[in-house]
A and B are shown apart, each in its own frame.
Chain A
Amino acid sequence: MWIRSLMAYRLSFAMTALGNLAVTAFDFAAILLMFSQVDRLGGYSLPEIAFLYGASGTAFGLTDLAMGSMDRLGKRVRDGTLDTLLVRPVPVIAQVAADRFGLHRIGRVVQGALVLTYALVVLDIDWTPLKVLMIPLMLLCGTGIYAAVWVAGAAFQFLAQDAAEVQSAFTYGGNTLLQYPPTVFTKDLVRGVTFILPLAFVNWIPALYVLGRPYPLDLPAWVAFTPPLVAALLLALAGLAWRTGLRSYRSTGS
């Protein structure tokens, strides 16, 4: 339905999709500008950073495409329109995610995929079957991990209502963080996003395996294959948080 409504204005759709591509292209432009001044950042070359950027950006874009409307949940809780969704015989989370499904967000996926392709073409990697397999696996699990963060953020909005921006700190902030190599950040921050909020499994850990680089925390090499487990665990936890949040929901009573 939302796709049909978007397609009613084809030109406008094309423009917003392009606009989304441009918006995201700008943060890669910032990285390019940095590399107009230096050859390396945190010991990493431009193609290597493009690889990290593209992997995180594509996964993030896919999640945004699937559930980017989730940040409107707080508004729905505030004005009570969530009630409409509760009485329909479809899971609330599916409805919230599909609400105003924005195909124009495809621009973000395209931009991430373009940067990733550029990196894969330019990088000189010793390809093994495992490394090749790692690329789709990384994108899939990355999407799952971002989705978990999104759902958990939405669950938090049942509680906070007016705090959609806290969610952005973890989603958009996480994406920005993962665009740079882990060597740029302090050990404590890297530990935090590895063990506490395991965003590092979106791209850092699998990508560093593909690049043949050691992970800054002395983790064994097989950790690179754990993203599916991490994604599954996080999704389960996020689902639990969502159900708790939904159960605590009290309508506005209007």
Chain B
Amino acid sequence: MRVRTGRFRLYAAVARAGFRRYATYRIATLAGVFTNTVFGLILAYTYIALWDEKPGLGGYDQSQALTFVWLGQGLLTVMSLMGGGFEGELIERIRTGDIAIDLYRPADLQAWWLATDVGRSLFQLLGRGVAPMAVGSLVFDLALPTEPLRWLAFLLAVFLGVVVSFAIRFLVALCAFWLMDGAGVTQIAMLAGVFFSGMLLPLNVFPGALGEFARALPWSALLQVPVDVFLGKHTGVGLLQTYAFQIGWAAALLTAGRLLQAVATRRVVVQGG
């Protein structure tokens, strides 16, 4: 039990460090909030035009669609949909060989980076998520939940989304063991993330089979699912099923990451010098 709490304390400290590290970039954070807000405004008007043309599209009314826009802007960096998370650094460490030092540490590689990333996303949620949402709710009529429980349910969905997002990016970063250069895979993963998370357009609006396919992929756990929980689309047993969907993907991807990590670390050849 002693060891357990020690471990927990270690990862909590790592997460705090991840939080604090991003909290230092105050001007950059403000600039980011500004950009998210500008994009939120532009997208909101295009969504209004779209929902004016076809009310009830994707099962959302207009204010729910607008809520989707602003939550999307708020969660963009939380979920690292456009990059900017830990993966760039991990790839760099693999490329330069610094990874060998990490493997010597008495901490698990995957858990270590997960803790950093959870800390980072918590900061992004507070630093870059709240402000655009506040602006959005001042300018537009958003569908904000009134029950405190739904806010909690939403936060849990966001947390699970962060874990799934981490698991995907960890797999992407490990590819650097074989490719030495992560630029290509990172870009493909980013594209897939933006498209299949619902960032471009809610997945419910995707036509037919493409929509069903997109909703079954792990990326829908990053934005589509948390937004639907926020809008109260999943309640009761449905809510539990939604969480199960997120947890299922998280478990599958984390396990895949663990296996890949085991294979990859066997490949590490440390150059002397």
Chain A residues in contact with chain B, CB under 8 A? Answer: 12, 15-16, 19, 22-23, 26-27, 29-30, 33-34, 36-42, 160-166, 168-170, 173, 176-177, 180, 183-186, 189
A-B contact pairs, 30 of them (CB 8 A): A16-B183, A19-B187, A26-B200, A29-B195, A30-B201, A33-B200, A33-B201, A33-B206, A34-B201, A37-B207, A38-B53, A39-B53, A42-B49, A160-B31, A161-B27, A162-B31, A163-B27, A163-B28, A164-B28, A165-B32, A165-B34, A165-B35, A169-B39, A173-B38, A173-B42, A176-B39, A177-B42, A184-B46, A184-B48, A184-B49
Report how far A42 CA is from B53 CA in the complex, Å.
Answer: 8
Contacts of B205 in A (CB 8 A): 33-34, 37
Beyond A29-B200, A33-B205, A163-B30, 13 additional pairs, beta carbon < 8 A: A12-B181, A19-B184, A19-B191, A22-B191, A33-B206, A34-B201, A42-B49, A162-B27, A163-B28, A165-B31, A173-B39, A177-B42, A180-B49
Evaluate contact between B35 and A169: CB separation under 8 angstroms. yes
Chain B residues in contact with chain A, CB under 8 A? Answer: 25, 27-28, 30-32, 34-35, 38-39, 41-43, 45-46, 48-50, 53-54, 57, 181, 183-184, 187-188, 191, 194-195, 200-201, 205-207
Whole-angstrom distance between the Cβ of B51 and the nearest chain A Cβ: 10
Taking A37-B54, A163-B27 as contacts, is the C-beta distance between A180 and B46 under 8 angstroms? yes
Nearest 8 A-B pairs (CB), nearest first? A163-B31, A165-B31, A30-B200, A169-B38, A162-B27, A169-B35, A38-B53, A184-B49
Contacts of A16 in B (CB 8 A): 183-184, 187
Main secondary structure, interface of B, reads helix
Contacts of B41 in A (CB 8 A): 189
Evaluate contact between A27 and B200: CB separation under 8 angstroms. yes
Contacts of A165 in B (CB 8 A): 28, 31-32, 34-35
Whole-angstrom distance between the Cβ of B54 and the nearest chain A Cβ: 5
Report how far A22 CA is from B53 CA in the complex, Å.
Answer: 28
Whole-angstrom distance between the Cβ of B25 and the nearest chain A Cβ: 6
Closest to A27 in B: B200
Main secondary structure, interface of A, reads helix
Whole-angstrom distance between the Cβ of A23 and the nearest chain B Cβ: 6
Report how far A15 CA is from B42 CA in the complex, Å.
Answer: 31
Report how far A185 CA is from B41 CA in the complex, Å.
Answer: 9
Closest to A34 in B: B50
Closest to A38 in B: B53
Evaluate contact between A23 and B42: CB separation under 8 angstroms. no
Report how far A173 CA is from B36 CA in the complex, Å.
Answer: 10
Evaluate contact between A176 and B42: CB separation under 8 angstroms. yes
Contacts of B30 in A (CB 8 A): 163
Taking A19-B184, A26-B191, A169-B34 as contacts, is the C-beta distance between A38 and B46 under 8 angstroms? no
Report how far A186 CA is from B44 CA in the complex, Å.
Answer: 11
Contacts of A168 in B (CB 8 A): 35
Closest to A185 in B: B45
Report how far A189 CA is from B32 CA in the complex, Å.
Answer: 21
Report how far A147 CA is from B126 CA in the complex, Å.
Answer: 34
Whole-angstrom distance between the Cβ of B164 and the nearest chain A Cβ: 21
Report how far A19 CA is from B57 CA in the complex, Å.
Answer: 31
Whole-angstrom distance between the Cβ of A187 and the nearest chain B Cβ: 12
Report how far A1 CA is from B131 CA in the complex, Å.
Answer: 43
Instruction: Pick from A19, A27, A33: contact of B207, CB below 8 A.
Output: A33
Whole-angstrom distance between the Cβ of A150 and the nearest chain B Cβ: 15
Whole-angstrom distance between the Cβ of A21 and the nearest chain B Cβ: 11
Evaluate contact between B194 and A166: CB separation under 8 angstroms. no
Closest to B183 in A: A16
Whole-angstrom distance between the Cβ of B74 and the nearest chain A Cβ: 15
Contacts of A170 in B (CB 8 A): 38
Most buried by A among B42, B184, B200, B201: B42
Whole-angstrom distance between the Cβ of B99 and the nearest chain A Cβ: 22
Contacts of A27 in B (CB 8 A): 200
Evaluate contact between A36 and B207: CB separation under 8 angstroms. yes
Contacts of B31 in A (CB 8 A): 160, 162-166
Whole-angstrom distance between the Cβ of B70 and the nearest chain A Cβ: 15
Contacts of A22 in B (CB 8 A): 191
